[in-house]
Amino acid sequence: MALLSACASTPPQATRPAVHPDYAPIQDGDILIPAVDPTLLSEEKVRQEVAYTGPEAANTIVVDPFARRLYYVLGNGRAMRYAVGVGPEGKAFRGNATVGMKRQWPNWTPTQNMIRTQPELYAEYAGGLPGGLENPLGARALYLYRNGRDTYYRIHGTIDNRSIGRASSAGCIRLFNQDIIDLYNRVETGTRVKVRTEAESLSYEGQWVEDADGDIEPAPQLALAG
């Protein structure tokens, strides 16, 4: 049997993709943020500087909850683009706001509605959860205000990297922790935030549809009859 095993061909080992340098582990104070699994990083999900045709001024955050993208406008027709995951609150918010607060490793408290509708998941956290790798707000959070009042809408990191690019069960607008740190370092308190409507999304991004895995991709173009 040993001889037969020795003669058997060994299947080649699958080569694991290398960690993307922008999504490598980060030592953030006392906390080590893990790398993002490279298999989760399609070209659409890697942050990158892109051409931008929207009317917003430089230093504006533009959130598109329908195309699941976030832009930080650089000016001169350019912007940094990030992939986002969108929860129910993220799809409900429209219009303008400002960044009223910025927090590193923020505390998290579930809303009363979350506790009421899913007590088995959220009731134990009614008193709040300190910042850390188990906190659903992730490494950073931007708190959005309107007319000087907290909207309870957040742009934040996440502990669930698989949710990026997908519709998530809870939360507002979430980014990879590596991306929210990059965005956090670019913006100041008072930064303007624009959340697109569905019509605006269609105008600038076109139609997007979900694939079998829950990620989104451009809708297929129907060929015109000749």
Name the residues annotated as catalytic. Answer: 156, 172
Tell which phi-psi region holds residue 152, choosing left (phi > 0), alpha (psi between -120 and 50) or beta: left
Q: Which residue has the tokens 């188990």?
A: 134
Cα separations (Å) of 88 from 9, 58, 82, 170? 52, 28, 19, 6
In the chain, DSSP assigns E strands to 26-28, 31-33, 48-51, 61-64, 69-75, 78-83, 85-86, 95-104, 140-146, 149-156, 173-174, 192-195, 208-210, 216-218
